[in-house]
Structure 1
C-alpha cells in the first residue's frame, strides 16, 4: 500500500464539517456532523442540492444539540445515515430512497443500548464513525478515541431477531505516539478499506489537535489488518467512498472534517496502486 497519490479534487460551497460521503452515478451524497441535511452534489454540473431530513433543517447546529451524523452507507437503493451514538441526541437513523426520495426516520437508541450492554462499552465510549451493510451483515466502525481506547468493528446479522453483536478490536498504527482510530470504511469485494485519524484527545465529544490520517485494509473474511499507510499529517479525513477501479489502481473520494463552521468542504482524490 506504500504507493499512493492524494490530490485536492474540488471544493463544495454550502456544506461544512463533512463527515461521510457516498459516490453513486455521478453524484456525491454527503453528510455533515452538525447538520440535519443530506447533501446531493452533482459532479458534472457542480450543483448542490440540500435534502431536509427534518422540519426546519439547519446547516450549523450547536455541538450539544447536533445529531452528529458520522456514518453513511448505500444498501440497494437506500442511503442509510447514522448518528454516532456518543450522546443521547445522536441515536437517529435516517433512510433515504434514491428513486422515490422518501425519507424514513428510526430511533436507534435501543440498538445502541444493546451494543453497549452486550459488548460492555460504556456510554462515554460509544462513537460510531463508519457503517457497512451487506445482504447478511451490518458492520459498525467504533472509533476508540475515548479513555479506554476501545477501537474496533462491531458486527451482527442484519435485521435478525435476538441480534448478537460481536466486537473485533483493532490496534492501528500510531501517529506521533497517538493511536489512529477509525473514522470511516467502505467494502470493495472482500476487502474493507478504512480511514483512521489520530487526535490528541481522550474524549469522544471534544476535538483535539489533528495529528494525521491513515488508510488501511482489512480482510472481511478473517477480520485481520492487511496493510496501512499514512496519507496525511494534517488532515482529519472522515469520509471514504469508492470512485473508480482498474486492474492496477483503485481510486477513492475523501472528505475531511475541519471542525469549523465555514460552509465549504474539500473533496480529495486518493489513488492507490493495487498491483502487487
Structure 2
C-alpha cells in the first residue's frame, strides 16, 4: 500500500531584507550550435549541458565549445531539433554521483514531456529511460498543486535527497532519491514527498518562476535561478523580462522559510536564465558559478560569474 503523502507547506511572504547579495558577470558567450539551453552541470573539468528541444547530452570544454554529443533517445538523426509540439522538453540536469546524471522532462505536456533519464557515464554510456506519466499524475493530485500547472524546471541533489522545482506556484518537491528510483523501476509505491511553496520577486507585476537549481555543498545552501516571462501558462513562451538568482538555506536538513536574492545583470538584452552549476566554491560567502540562458529563438548563452552574499 502506498504511504500517505506528507506535505510540509511553507508559504514565503517576503525575502530577506538585507539585500547584500550580488552577482558579477565575468564572461558571456553565445552558441548557435547548442539550441535552447536548459540545463548545465560541471563534470570533471568540463561541462555537460542539455537543450529543451535537442535529444543530446552535450559535453563542452572550458570555453563552452562542444566536444561530444551523447544521444539521449534512440534512433535520432544527429541534426535533429524537435518542434515545440513534439519536443521532450528536457529541462533539468543534475549530477548525482561522480558518473551518474539525471534528466527530467518538464511534464508540461503528456506524454511527450514525461520522460526521466538516468545516465551512467564512463568508458561507455548507459542510459536508463523511464516514463513518468503516473509519477507526474501523483504530483498533480497533491493539494499544493491545486489550480497549478505541472512544469518541472530544475532538479537538485544533496545527501541522498532529490529536489524537483515546479515553475507554477514555485513549489519544491523533496524525495529520497533511492525511494524515487525504486518507484520508477516498479519496486515500490509513490515516494513520500515534502513540499514547499515560495513567493518569489516580480518584474512588472509578474512573479518569477523557478528555472534552475543546485546545491552549494560547503555552505549547505540551494542556489536557484528564476525567470520572468510575460505568459499566462506553462506551455507558451512570452516576452523575457529578466531573471533572478538566490540562495535558500538548508543547514538544518530542511528548506529554510526565507531566502536571499538579487537580479541577474543584463547585457544587450534581458536574459532568461535556465540553469546554474557551481564552478568553484570559495570561503567567505563567495562562489564561482556558470549560468545557461535560452533566448527562445534557438540559441544559448553561457555566463561565468561570481556570487557574493
Cα distance in 1 for partners of 2:36, 2:100 equals 23
Cα distance in 1 for partners of 2:212, 2:245 equals 10
Cα distance in 2 for partners of 1:242, 1:41 equals 15
If the length of structure 2 is used for normalisation, what is the TM-score? 0.81
- More strand per residue: 1 or 2? 1
Instruction: Tell me, yes or no, if structure 1 residue 111 matches structure 2 residue 130.
Output: no
| Greater C-alpha Rg | 2
Q: Following TM superposition, by how much is the alpha carbon of 1:158 offset from its aligned partner in structure 2, in angstroms?
A: 2.4
- Indicate the RMSD between aligned Cα atoms, in angstroms: 2.0
Aligned to 1:67: 88
Contact 2:58 2:66 in 1 (8 A): no
- Aligned pairs for 1:113-128 within 5 A: 113-119=137-143, 121=145, 125-128=149-152
Cα distance in 2 for partners of 1:219, 1:247 equals 16
Query: Where does the alignment leave 5 or more consecutive residues of structure 1 unmatched?
Result: 145-149
Q: Following TM superposition, by how much is the alpha carbon of 1:214 offset from its aligned partner in structure 2, in angstroms?
A: 0.4
- More helix per residue: 1 or 2? 2
* 2:126 aligned residue (102, 115, 127): 102
Query: Where does the alignment leave 5 or more consecutive residues of structure 2 unmatched?
Result: 1-19, 180-187
Aligned to 1:159: 178
Deviations 1:9-66 (A, max 9, x none): 4334521110010111121111100111111112269343111112114542110100
* 2:257 aligned residue (224, 228, 249): 224
SS at match of 1:114: helix
SS at match of 1:159: helix
Aligned to 2:274: 238
Q: Following TM superposition, by how much is the alpha carbon of 1:104 offset from its aligned partner in structure 2, in angstroms?
A: 1.5
Cα distance in 2 for partners of 1:258, 1:44 equals 20
If the length of structure 1 is used for normalisation, what is the TM-score? 0.90
Aligned to 1:93: 116
Cα distance in 2 for partners of 1:124, 1:185 equals 20
Contact 2:279 2:288 in 1 (8 A): yes
Deviations 1:162-201 (A, max 9, x none): 4122321100011121111100100112100100011111
Instruction: Tell me, yes or no, if structure 1 residue 136 matches structure 2 residue 173.
Output: no
Equivalenced residues, count: 267
